């Protein structure tokens, strides 16, 4: 059985077709915010034409909870374990979870080291670096703020792809990037106690988002046409090998004290629910609803993360975090193209309303004129009636 044989109601018949439509997505461990490049110039019209039904919205909300939950689970794990060890456990358990699906759908592991190199590069850019940076950042800032900063991923992707000549930086996307930068400035603020630690955490999470942007460039150039399930599983395997060395040299996990049951459960949930299950759900939703609609999950992830962190970790939600998240969210809508589409539709609607109003005024004036004058004695009225 081929792992790409998922048929959607919208006519997209395979996950490989999604890849061929050039929807480049960071798919290593499927980290929240890893929609690093939903490239809309190749499939925008198709995606925007799709209407999401109730099941699609349910899947979208569930996906946002899983991805938002990854920040929540990581926040619990880094309280007792070093970030690099948390990354190792995450990628190792996630790869073990995906391997049965990998083999069930008929995929095969690469046979030579040259075939492994593209997956190794993707694993470093899409898993090792961003996971390590974000988890390190979460030792300085809360889960909610980390999720907001990670929502900058599409903005960094636009910059990276434009810088390497892969994408044209349109006015809409450029304006979205500026809004994203403004959102970060709002998040940082000034004159708040503990600001140095806060800034350090924000910068670390921004580094993770930037790494996702480079992973989109790498995936486009080195993994084009590779089935998503194969790409994700193989890069997770490579990430596990890299993190085993890095965490082994730095953290020496075998010398760490056994964490509590809550941390162990958080690690399992981080790997299986927020990584492996989220991966499968993401591509199922991508096939059903299209990349343009799945982009909406980026706006929902911080909401889910802040909700979970507020309810179970007692993390306060500050006004500037809400303002920063809103600014970044609006920027994402401009990058996605939705914002300009809405503005164009609003302008078109106003033009049509104005034309209709002018037509009504013209007809009213004509009727009023005819009612006040004798048809037989008014030349203009006779000509209007004759021409009509």
Structural domain boundaries in the chain: 15-336, 353-387
| DSSP letter assigned to residue 277 | I
Residue located via tokens 């083999």: 103
Token digits for 159? 């910059």
Short-list 162, 135, 160, CA closest to 150: 135
176's enclosing H/E stretch is: helix 171-188
pLDDT of 136:
98
CB 25 within 8 A of CB 154: no
What is the 3-state composition of the chain as percent helix, strand, coil, each rounded to the nearest 5? 75, 0, 25
Report pTM: 0.80
Short-list 135, 132, 155, CA closest to 146: 135
pLDDT of 284:
87
Helices (H), strands (E): how many in the chain? 18, 0
CB 48 within 8 A of CB 227: no
CB 167 within 8 A of CB 39: yes
pLDDT of 40:
37
Residue located via tokens 């940082």: 188
Region class of 257: left (phi > 0), else alpha (psi between -120 and 50), else beta: beta
Residues, the chain: 388
CB 328 within 8 A of CB 180: yes
* CA 60 to chain CA mean position, Å: 11
Residues 6+ apart with CB under 8 A from 118: 218, 222, 223, 226
What distance in Å separates the CA atoms of residue 312 and residue 302, rounded to the nearest whole number? Answer: 15
What b/e sequence results for 156-186 when a residue is b if at least 16 CB atoms lie within 10 Å of its CB, and e otherwise?
bbbbbbbeeebbeebebbebbbebbeebbeb
Residues 6+ apart with CB under 8 A from 16: 4, 225, 227, 228
User: Chunked in runs of 10, what are the mean pLDDT values of the chain (388 residues)?
Assistant: 44 44 39 42 45 88 94 97 98 97 96 95 96 97 94 91 90 90 81 72 95 93 91 96 98 96 97 93 86 82 94 91 91 80 71 60 54 53 51
CB 56 within 8 A of CB 267: no
């Amino acid at each position: 059985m081929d792992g790409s044989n998922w048929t959607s109601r919208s006519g997209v018949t395979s996950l490989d077709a999604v890849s061929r439509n050039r929807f480049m997505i960071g798919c290593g461990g499927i980290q929240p915010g890893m929609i690093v490049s939903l490239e809309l110039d190749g499939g925008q019209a198709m995606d925007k034409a799709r209407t999401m039904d109730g099941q699609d919205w349910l899947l979208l909300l569930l996906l946002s909870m899983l991805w938002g939950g990854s920040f929540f689970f990581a926040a619990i794990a880094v309280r007792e374990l070093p970030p690099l060890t948390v990354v190792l456990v995450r990628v190792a358990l996630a790869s073990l979870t995906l391997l049965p699906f990998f083999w069930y759908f008929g995929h095969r592991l690469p046979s030579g080291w040259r075939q492994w190199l593209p997956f190794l590069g993707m694993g470093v850019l899409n898993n090792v670096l961003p996971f390590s940076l974000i988890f390190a950042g979460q030792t300085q800032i809360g889960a909610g703020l980390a999720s907001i900063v990670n929502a900058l991923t599409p903005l960094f992707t636009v910059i990276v792809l434009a810088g390497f000549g892969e994408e044209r930086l349109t006015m809409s996307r450029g304006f979205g990037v500026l809004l994203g930068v403004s959102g970060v400035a709002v998040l940082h603020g000034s004159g708040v106690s503990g600001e140095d630690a806060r800034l350090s955490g924000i910068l670390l999470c921004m580094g993770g988002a930037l790494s996702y942007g480079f992973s989109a460039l790498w995936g486009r150039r080195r993994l084009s046409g590779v089935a998503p399930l194969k790409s994700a599983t193989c890069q997770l395997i490579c990430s596990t090998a890299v993190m085993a060395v890095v965490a082994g040299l730095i953290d020496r996990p075998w010398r760490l004290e056994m964490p509590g049951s809550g941390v162990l459960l958080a690690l399992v949930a981080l790997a299986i629910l927020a990584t492996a299950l989220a991966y499968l759900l993401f591509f199922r939703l991508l096939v059903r609803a299209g990349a343009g609609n799945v982009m909406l999950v980026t706006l929902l992830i911080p909401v889910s993360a802040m909700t979970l962190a507020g309810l179970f970790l007692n993390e306060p939600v500050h006004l500037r975090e809400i303002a920063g998240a809103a600014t970044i969210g609006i920027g994402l809508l401009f990058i996605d193209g939705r914002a300009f589409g809405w503005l164009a539709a609003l302008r078109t609607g106003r033009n049509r309303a104005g034309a209709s109003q002018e037509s009504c005024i013209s007809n009213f004036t004509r009727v009023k004129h005819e009612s006040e004058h004798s048809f037989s004695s008014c030349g203009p009225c006779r000509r209007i009636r004759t021409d009509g």
